[in-house]
Amino acid sequence: MRQVLVIGGGAAGLMAAISAARAGAKVTLLEQNKQVGKKLLATGNGRCNLANRVQDLSCYRGSSPEFVRTALAGFGLLEALEFFHGIGIVTRERNGYFYPYCDQASAVVDALRMEAEHQRVKLALNTKVQEIFKEKGRFFVKTQGWTYEGDALILAAGSCAAPETGSDGSGYELAKAMGHSVIEPLPALVQLRSKDPVFPKLRGLRMEARVSLFSGKRFLAEDRGEVQFTEYGLSGIPVFQVSRYGAKALHAGGEVSAVLNFLPFLNREETAVFWDARIRQGAYKSIGQLLVGLFPKKMADCLLKRAGIPGGKAAGELTDKEQEMLRLVCTSFEVRISACNGFDRAQVCCGGVDTKEADPRTMESRLVPGLYLAGELLDVDGACGGYNLQWAWTSGYLAGTHSAAQPADESRAVTK
Ligand SMILES: Cc1cc2nc3c(=O)[nH]c(=O)nc-3n(C[C@H](O)[C@H](O)[C@H](O)COP(=O)(O)OP(=O)(O)OC[C@H]3O[C@@H](n4cnc5c(N)ncnc54)[C@H](O)[C@@H]3O)c2cc1C
């Protein structure tokens, strides 16, 4: 019986261990925490957004979309949903986002753990892997008290995002020790920081907006949704979605700015018509009063200050230039981004083990036969919406299933 070792008891490692065991291997999973699935418990605000109906390749970022395309063709959304139904997780869908029906991430962890136990996966908990190496065709995994030995090894030790859940970046070091290159990991799905003095004043506001990110004049990415203003900068789903592009540009030494459009439901012409009508209708009001019912007071004050228009000025007396300034600050409110929050606040990392060094059909290392890589450890980061977990299920399944199969040269040797 083929012996498979799995490092990491997160989403990808659990999926890999179950898949390898189902394919006939004897599996040992090593996890440094006292429990498996600690990060999974925090996903989706404790509800676990485990997949998404929309499987557009643009939702998976990283150096190689082709790598993800090939992997998803081997185990995609439907296979993942079928897998979860098979282990007892009924799913519910909200706007394309899949969750367990009970809305509890703990149910997903419990179901995965129960299935791993049912498949006789040996769970070695409180077991931190310190070193790995391959000798005479076999893998050796050193922990403080023991050296484990196997025919195949799956590295699913995660990234360095949310390190309190166990993903402390040691997976990258283990991969490097086996000769792999790691594209510098940076925080992604994370808040953006700014030194602009507006932020302490806008703290606590939530507004619908389109966030467009630029590095100098170069457009990086945009997204629309509810933006949250914090003491130090910007948060909320649309900010998370674009953050990885900001992180990369800042890391490369570029200047990054976020441009907020607070009227994202209007195009340029409609915006002009909208303001003309509003000014005509409210010509008797002060400009401060004209913004009542459109923007929260704190934001209205801030916009007028930026536009250089005194709040008490009659709306009907605005000059053409002032009207233009008003339109501009409402649709192109620019703030300089100074940094991203750190790994401790990031949901995932962009960067990781270079996907050129793995086979997307099997997740086997192209450098070390018998070594498999899965999950966030690889240079694949998904958008918010279940894509990171889908990646964990996909890569975990492929790594597990293929690691359990006898390599062609070995099976030939046996039949000789
Ligand atoms: C707050 C939060 C919310 C999120 N919500 C969602 C969501 O709703 N939907 C979604 O798709 N994604 C979400 N994500 C992202 C998603 O959780 C991760 O992408 C995914 O869990 C990664 O799985 P993984 O198995 O690759 O890594 P991990 O889950 O990090 O697992 C790696 C495991 O390896 C162990 N390990 C590391 N090094 C060693 C070592 N040397 N020895 C032994 N064990 C080791 C760690 O302890 C850890 O348990 C969220 C992330 C966070 C932080």
Report the nearest-CA residue for atom 19 of ligand 1: 388
* 48-80 confidence digits (pLDDT tens): 999 999 999 999 999 999 999 999 999 999 999
Contacts of 34 (CB under 8 A, 6+ apart): 125, 126
Span from the CA of 176 to the centroid of ligand 1 (angstroms): 19
- The verdict on 21 and 167 lying in the same domain is yes
- Give the model's pLDDT for residue 407: 79
- Give the model's pLDDT for residue 415: 36
* Residues 43-46: contacts with CB under 8 Å, at least 24 apart: 43/105, 43/389, 44/99, 44/105, 44/386, 46/104, 46/105, 46/106
- The verdict on 294 and 370 lying in the same domain is no
Beta strands (DSSP E) in 170-309 are 182-188, 192-193, 206-215, 218-229, 233-235, 256-261
CB 159 within 8 A of CB 167: yes
- Answer yes or no: is the C-beta of 9 below 6 A from any ligand 1 atom: yes
- The verdict on 176 and 101 lying in the same domain is yes
What atom of ligand 1 comes closest to residue 158's alpha carbon? 27
- Mean pLDDT calculated for residue range 215-234: 97
- The verdict on 177 and 84 lying in the same domain is yes
CB 120 within 8 A of CB 9: no
Taking 90 as the threshold, does the pLDDT of residue 143 lie above it?
yes
Q: How far apart are CA 18 and CA 245, in angstroms?
A: 35
User: pLDDT above 70 covers what percent of the chain?
Assistant: 98
- The verdict on 17 and 141 lying in the same domain is yes
- The verdict on 382 and 333 lying in the same domain is no
- The verdict on 168 and 281 lying in the same domain is no
What atom of ligand 1 comes closest to residue 129's alpha carbon? 42
- Answer yes or no: is the C-beta of 80 below 6 A from any ligand 1 atom: no
- The verdict on 180 and 204 lying in the same domain is no
Task: Choose which residue among 389, 390, 391 to substitute to test ligand 1 binding: the one with the highest number of ligand atoms within 8 A of its C-beta.
Answer: 389
The 3-state DSSP class for residue 64 equals: coil
- Answer yes or no: is the C-beta of 13 below 6 A from any ligand 1 atom: yes
DSSP secondary structure letter of residue 365: B
Which of 319, 341, 363 finishes a domain?
341
Q: How far apart are CA 175 and CA 181, in angstroms?
A: 8
Residue 222 phi/psi, 5-degree rounding, is -145, 160
- The verdict on 152 and 199 lying in the same domain is no
CATH number of the domain that 400 lies in? 3.50.50.60
* 72-130 confidence digits (pLDDT tens): 999 999 999 999 999 999 999 999 999 999 999 999 999 999 999 999 999 999 999 99
- Give the model's pLDDT for residue 406: 77
- Answer yes or no: is the C-beta of 387 below 6 A from any ligand 1 atom: yes
Taking 90 as the threshold, does the pLDDT of residue 414 lie above it?
no
Taking 50 as the threshold, does the pLDDT of residue 355 lie above it?
yes
Quote the domain boundaries for residue 85: 3-187+349-415
- The verdict on 211 and 73 lying in the same domain is no
Report the nearest-CA residue for atom 35 of ligand 1: 8
Taking 60 as the threshold, does the pLDDT of residue 410 lie above it?
no
Taking 80 as the threshold, does the pLDDT of residue 408 lie above it?
no
- The verdict on 315 and 252 lying in the same domain is yes
Taking 60 as the threshold, does the pLDDT of residue 412 lie above it?
no
Which of 341, 376, 396 finishes a domain?
341
- Answer yes or no: is the C-beta of 129 below 6 A from any ligand 1 atom: yes
Task: Choose which residue among 388, 390, 397, 398 to substitute to test ligand 1 binding: the one with the highest number of ligand atoms within 8 A of its C-beta.
Answer: 388
Q: Which two tokens stand for residue 42?
A: 């925090």
- The verdict on 325 and 364 lying in the same domain is no
Q: What is the count of structural domains for the chain?
A: 2
Report the nearest-CA residue for atom 30 of ligand 1: 158
